[in-house]
Each structure stands twice: as C-alpha cells, then as structure tokens.
Structure 1
Amino acid sequence: MSAPSLPPPSIDTPIAFVDLETTGGSVAEHRITEIGIVQVGEGGVSRWSTLVDPGQAIPPFIQSLTGITDDMVRGAPTFASLAAELFERLDGRLFVAHNASFDRGFLRSEFQRAGFAFNPDVLCTVKLSRALWPHEKRHGLDALIGRHALEPLARHRALADADLLWQFWQRLHAAWAPDVLRTYIDRTVRRYRIAGDITEDMLDTAPAGHGVYALFDASDTPLYVGRSVRLRQRVRAHLTGERRSARELRIADQVRRVEWLATGGELGALLTEAQWIARMRPLHNRQPRVGRAESLGSPWPFEAAIAFEERGDEPACGHLFHVVDRWCYLGAAATLEAACALAASGVEPAYEPQTFRILQAHLARGLSVTPLEAVAREAAAIAQ
C-alpha cells in the first residue's frame, strides 16, 4: 500500500512541528503531560499548546527535567477531551518532530484510545540532520541549538521545543538549495498513510515469510496477484519502494486495498497464486489458458484426495497441509483431520492448467504426499 497517488511531501506542504512531554518513555505505561505545536502553511505560522492531565503521577525525575508538576496538570484537560480538536490541527499536515517515533507513538496510542486513526506522514529531524550533515556525530536538540544558532525559549517544554524545530527548518532553507533540500526531505519522510485505508501499521501485520497477495483498486477490481518468500517486504516494495517500470507505476497508482495469505512454503504459494489468478482474473496478470487438454494423458495417480505438508516459516503459521484432488488445489488446513474435512466438503474448484503443471513437476521430483482416504479410514477405526 503506497501513496503513489499523493504528491511527495515538499517544502510547501502544510506542516505541524510537534513536541510532547510525558510521564516516561513507555507508550504502554506512560501518558502525555503537555503538547506543543507550531503550525506552518499558507495561512502563516500559528502556535498552540496545552497541559494534559495524564491521569497518573509524574515521576520526580520528570518533574525536575520538565518543570511540569502534578499540581500543574491537576484540572488540565484530558487527552480524550482534546482529541477531536487536536486531530483537526494535525490531520493533513506533515508531522515533524525530533525522535519522531517517540512523539508519533504516544499520539497514535492516545488517539487510538479516543477512537481516532492517526497515521500522518512523519519527518524526523534527527534523521534529516544526519542525512544532511553525516560527518557530525551528535544530532540531539542541544547539538542543533549550538550548531545552527537556534534560540531556545525554554528547554524540555513542549511548545518551546517545537519552536526550535521550526527555527531549524528555517535554517535548512538558508543552508541548502531548494531542490537539494526537497530531495533529502522526501528521502527521509516515512509514509504511514499510504493509499485508501492502507497504512504502514497495516503492512506490519502482513506475513513476513511465504505468501500470496492481491492488489485491488478503488472499485475493488483485482489489479494484480503475486507471491513472495518475503511477503511483507514484497508488498511494501510494490507500493512504497523504488519502482522500475511504467507498468509497476500504473499498478501502484491505482491500489486502494490489499489481501494476503500466509502459505507456509513455496509450493503452497505457487498453488495459491495460480488459484487466485484463475478465480480473480486480475487485470495485470497473464491469464491462464482454459481447458483440460494438458492433463488428458496424465490421469490422477491417486485413488482420491492427497495432502502434502509444508512447515510454516513463522510461528503463527505452524504446519500447513495443502489438499489436492484430481489436479485441483482445494486449499490448506492446519491439521490432517481438517485436511480430510476439506477434501470431503464437496468443494469442486475449476480445473486450472497452471496448477496441473505445478503439481506434475513436483510429483515427478518425489513430493511426499499423504492419501487422505487412508487417514479418514484410520480416524474412523479409532473412533469405533
């Protein structure tokens, strides 16, 4: 899922420079105590900040560091009461922060608890500073203050630190040619909202190992079906990486939804891909020839359905038993008992010539299979 349909963030993109103060460093355990935002766009520059009641005590070390005490946040608005207004301030803007994964992570969790999906494009000024000045060893906010003659209004207070990022941004424009700076910014931005309902967080849930994926457009028309030994990496590359052909660009520009399935191994991926292409007939895949001519001289060499096992390459996948009958792939099951149930379910998939070719080749190489009829007989005998 990518954002090829969106223009790359540029120097003219509406921006929110953001800084947070929190009760600690754990998104799961700690909460926000202060938010500071400098908004920059066509309407000029505006500043906004608020203390936030975290609903928990602020540790003494944090109070000493930030100057924010329990008394100061007592009676301040909760994040839930601020969520709608804050979301409106940030939505549609490039989110710029120092060590941005920290600020983005806290806000994402708080917004999620309040019922909002927060997935802005993010620019980390630490990463941008490293990209522009790779010879420098230090890129913390204090280092930037000294290196670029920034003028802190305070330190470790949200709005003051957000303002330092705005000052740094202005120094960048004075130090670098616009085209060069735009290139570095585009390379550094991480896109969390990619296309349609697709986000980077959603991509992180895709199987890391063997699997099959399908890409769909805005009208839910299948565009492309593919397979990969590293499915998550492959889908991300499809949509967010460097694309080398006009065809790949056309596909990426249209994608609005994705489906995927872990297959446990390479042969399962080959069979599932062939099945999906035959069933979905995606626009950008070569369509299989129709007919049984190839298998006329190759009768099914088993009495009934068979299964072969592939060991999953991820703990969540486990072992999969792929079920085949009369040169047709019926699908996968987690156990032999479930494989027998699948074979006996009466599913009658259409003959697909690519499936025949894949199976014939692997059987010729000695693929180890289990006749499911024998498994079913053995299970019935044990039940008696």
Structure 2
Amino acid sequence: MDPAFRFRLATRLARRLRAEGRPLPLPLLGEALGLRGPVAPVVGPLLDGRFIPGEEVGLWEWRYPFPHPGEPVVLLDLETTGLAPGMSEIIELALVRLEGKERRAFQSLVRPSRPPSPFVQNLTGIKASELEEAPPLEEVLAQAYPLLQGATLVIHNASFDLSFLRPALEGMGLGLANPVVDSIRLAKRALRGLRRYGLDALSAVLELPPRREHRALADVERTLAVVYEVYYMLTSGSPRSLVELGR
C-alpha cells in the first residue's frame, strides 16, 4: 500500500475515535473506512503509534498529554520577503506557546525597509500597504522574546527561520539558546516513505485543509496539528519530551 494512502486511512480512524471520544471495536472502526465483513486484516496494519490496540481500539492521547508535562513548547513561523538571509527581510512573525494547559499566541506584521515583491504579496496575502503601518522588527522581537524563554522551539524547516531570527536577535544583544526541534525531522521518522515533507504534503497526508495563503500564525497552527499527530506516532504509549524525540 502506498505510504501516503496508508497514513490517510489511519488518520481517518483516529478522527473517528476522537469524534466518538471512547474506544471502539474493530468493526465500528471499519465503518470509518466504508468496510464490510472482516475488517481486522485491513484495520490492524493501519494502527500506528497513536492507537492503543486491543478488542477495542483507543488513542494514547487520552492517556497522556501533549506537550510533555514540564516542557514548555513554542511553535514559531516567519514570513519573509525572500529566501536569502541578510538580504531578505522578515515581514511577519507568529508563535504559539504551550505550557501545561496554558496557551498563548502572538502574531505581528513587521515593517520592512522595502516593500515585498508582487510574488511575495500574492503568496502570503500580505499587501505592501499593510506593512507600511506595521511596527519595526526590533519592536516585534522585543514583544515576542519573553514568550520564548525556557521553551523548546518547534519550527518547520528550522534552519531557514533561524537564519533570520538568530541574527536579528543578536543585533539587539539577545541570545537564542533554546533547544530547537525541526518538525520535518519528526515527520520523516513518523511518516516514513513519503516523497515530500513540506507543510502542504503533510497536510494532504493528515487530511488537513489545504493552505490558501502562507501566513505565519496559520502555518504555526498547521505545524502544531502535524506535530501533535507525529508525537503520538513516535511515543506510542511511552511519553517523552520533544527534546528527547528530536535528538
């Protein structure tokens, strides 16, 4: 079976269990896939690390929380005017901090020295006119920096975002010593055999709504949805911190 198709089917089973809020026997799970007759040969191989197998199938997320207790997590994303650090500029920053049951979100546009190209404006949906009234990068980072403290950073394609974020913070005399987990690495371990691991490809496999625009906060939420799934795939009943998983 094609790996992408297998993961889609497994995600449909997880979604059915979440909708029910209780363990289900295999025949009822089979209904989520439109199966009739014996379902064990089909459903059984689909049960990845998210599931508690047995006569009735449950979900590990009902047994232990994400993120791991005692590990504050910040998911972060940037939008930029281009791909070249040092030449391109940040035009949007967003993050979500998860700490226990507390959730804090931050999002801000950033005023660049030059307006972004029409291509970038179309890609992000951020118009040059919106950026004219946005705060400068130093002001945005000063607001966001306290939310990073003591947290594990989770970033999709982390090296790209950090190539912009670290120099900007260093220019303000601020360090970034946080442990960093790249969600692409986690996805490659949990979802083996896929051709691509970008957010759009992972969204298709996990049946998340397609992206219309590349906006920082929406991409943070999408990264969180992906990481939530792969966290339980990888922990499979043995809860660990994201720092441990990312090693």
Q: Distance in 2 between matches of 1:47 and 1:184?
A: 19
Partner of 2:158: 100
Is the deviation greater in 85-94 or in 174-183? 174-183
Please give the residue correspondences for 1:305-320 in structure 2 after superposition, counting only pairs within 5 Å.
none
Higher helix share: 2
Separation in 2 of the partners of 1:178 and 1:47? Answer: 28
Deviation at 1:154, TM superposition (A): 4.8
Q: Which residues in structure 2 correspond to 1:123-162 (within 5 Å)? A: 123-151=181-209, 154-162=212-220
Give the Cα–Cα distance (whole angstroms) in 2 for the partners of residues 181 and 135 of structure 1. 24
TM-score when normalising by structure 1:
0.44
**For the structure 1 residues 74 and 33, does the alpha-carbon distance in structure 2 shift closer, same or farther, using more than 3 Å as the test?**
same
- Per the alignment, in what secondary structure is the counterpart of residue 105 of structure 1? helix
Query: Residue in 1 aligned with 2:130?
Result: 72
Instruction: Tell me what 1:86 maps to.
Output: 144
What per-residue deviation string (whole Å, max 9, x for no partner) do you get for residues 271-306 of structure 1?
Answer: xxxxxxxxxxxxxxxxxxxxxxxxxxxxxxxxxxxx
**Please, which moves more after superposition, 150-159 or 70-79?**
150-159
Aligned length: 180
Looking at structure 2, the residues matched to 38 and 151 of structure 1 have their Cα atoms a distance apart, in angstroms, of 20
Identity of aligned pairs, percent?
A: 29
Higher radius of gyration, 1 or 2: 1
Determine the C-alpha separation between the residues in 2 that align with 1:85 and 1:44. 18
Instruction: Give the structure 1 partner of residue 225 of structure 2.
Output: 167
Greater relative CO, 1 or 2 (CA 8 Å, sep 6+) = 2
Q: Deviations over 1:325-360 (max 9, x none)?
A: xxxxxxxxxxxxxxxxxxxxxxxxxxxxxxxxxxxx
Residue 240 of structure 2 aligns to a residue whose secondary structure is helix
Deviation at 1:181, TM superposition (A): 6.7
SS at match of 1:137: coil
Q: Does 170-179 or 45-54 show the bigger shift? A: 170-179
1:115 alignment counterpart: 173
Whether 2:87 is the aligned partner of 1:26: answer no
Moved over 4 A (4+): 178-181
- 1:180 offset after TM fit, Å? 5.4
Report deviation, 1:112: 1.3
Is the contact made by 1:20 and 1:103 (CA closer than 8 Å) also made in structure 2?
yes
Distance 1:151 1:92, change over 3 A: farther
User: Aligned with 1:95: secondary structure?
Assistant: strand
Give the whole-Å Cα distance in 1 for the aligned partners of 2:151 and 2:226: 18
Structure 1 69/111 Cα, relative in aligned 2: closer, same or farther at 3 Å? same
The residue aligned with 2:37 is none
CA distance in 2 between partners of 1:153 and 1:66 (Å)? 10
Three-state SS of the structure 1 residue aligned to 2:195 is: coil
Give the superposition deviation at 1:136: 1.7
- Report the residue type matching 2:87 in the other structure: E
Counterpart Cα distance in 2 of 1:115 and 1:160:
29
In structure 1, the gaps of 5 or more residues are 1-9, 190-384
- Secondary structure of residue in 2 paired with 1:115: coil
Q: Does the CA contact (< 8 Å) of 2:92 and 2:107 recur in 1? A: yes
Is the Cα contact below 8 Å between 1:16 and 1:38 reproduced in 2?
yes
Give the alignment partner of residue 35 of structure 1, picking from 90, 93, 101.
93
List runs of 5+ in structure 2 lacking aligned partners.
1-66
Q: Is the alpha carbon distance of 1:35 and 1:46 closer, same or farther for their aligned partners in structure 2, counting shifts above 3 Å?
A: same
TM, length-normalised to structure 2: 0.66
Q: What is the aligned partner in structure 2 of residue 314 from structure 1?
A: none
